[in-house]
Amino acid sequence: MKKKIYIAGCGGMLGEAFYTLFSDQYEIKCTDKDVNEDWIEFLDFRDCDAYKKDVTEFAPDYLFHLGAYTDLEFCEENAEDTYLTNTLSVENAVNIANSLNIPLLYISTAGIFDGKQDLYDDWDTPNPLGVYARSKYMGERFVCENAKRFIVCRAGWMMGSGPKKDKKFIQKLMKQIKDGKKELFIVNDKDGTPTYTHDFALTIKELIEKEYWGLYNCVCGGQTSRLEVAQELVKLIGKEDDISITEVSSDHFKDVYYAERPASERLVTTKLNLRKVNKMGDWKDALNRYVNRYYNGYLD
């Protein structure tokens, strides 16, 4: 008999990867307040009573809590809504998982660090800079301090699901290129690590099946920057001769991206490596696989 997973907040690019990877071997129920796939049912996990009722009736073996507000500017402008969505809902998830005596998966972020170090391992102490980072870190802490069994995975610069759901860096660049832009303005003062959703889901599958509970950095291999990622993307799609990249500082975009962001979000996957369960590919390889899987014909 298949084990059951309840996946809350499954409407985004990470949810697509989890559905793709887990649906064959597990019986899964996917919910979100945005029902954008035929395999998603409606649930707003901010409604604690509805959340608890729906999970309890499904009687899963695992609860995966994926959803969050990730737009930093929105979070700064809507602090209470952000804490309700990114923090209190996580506390509800912990209580639901504990009441059913099942493990909880929570997705944290590299953005909880202040960027003053070049690299952060699994044991470095976070120091969140803004509402988004604080809301995610408070969720992470609550899980680690209160859940009976849990996996917390910190993701880096997420990429996945292609033009349909990716609202992050890669899709923003691909959209500009599709729209005919010949010059890309890329910041040269932000470092981090891409995280391909399918590698991320595969790594979590390994952790779940081996019951390696705990907190993990979970990002692709190799340290990089926004500038280097953009250069690699342009090269991958064969547009080096057509598109120029102009380096700018973050101040260039300060009117649009005014929420404070750490200079470095570079995570190292020390614990995954030590436990020999790291399924995260090198970031260049992962970017290549991502573009080939989701962007074939996109620029035609």
Domain spans of the chain, in order of start: 4-162+193-224+265-283
pLDDT tens-place string over residues 64-110: 999 999 999 999 999 999 999 999 999 999 999 999 999 999 999 99
Pick from 108, 165, 167: which is nearest to 139 by CA?
A: 108
Q: Are 151 and 214 in contact (CB under 8 A)?
A: yes
Mean pLDDT of 200-215: 97
- What CA–CA distance (Å, rounded) separates 66 from 234? 31
Q: Read off the pLDDT of residues 218-273 as tens digits, 9 standing for 90 and up.
A: 999 998 999 999 999 999 999 988 999 999 998 888 888 888 999 999 999 999 99
The whole-angstrom separation of Cα 227 and Cα 217 is 23
- Overall fold of domain 4-162+193-224+265-283: Rossmann fold (3.40.50)
What pLDDT sits at residue 67?
Answer: 94
pLDDT by residue (tens digit) across 158-184?
999 999 999 999 999 999 999 999 999
Under a CB-based contact definition with an 8 Å cutoff, are residues 156 and 192 in contact? Answer: yes
**Is pLDDT above 90 for 291?**
yes
CA distance 39 to 63: 17
Report the mean per-residue pLDDT for the chain.
Answer: 95
pLDDT digits (tens, 9 = 90+) for 105-143: 999 999 999 999 999 999 999 999 999 999 999 999 999
Q: What φ, ψ does residue 278 adopt, rounded to 5°?
A: -80, 110
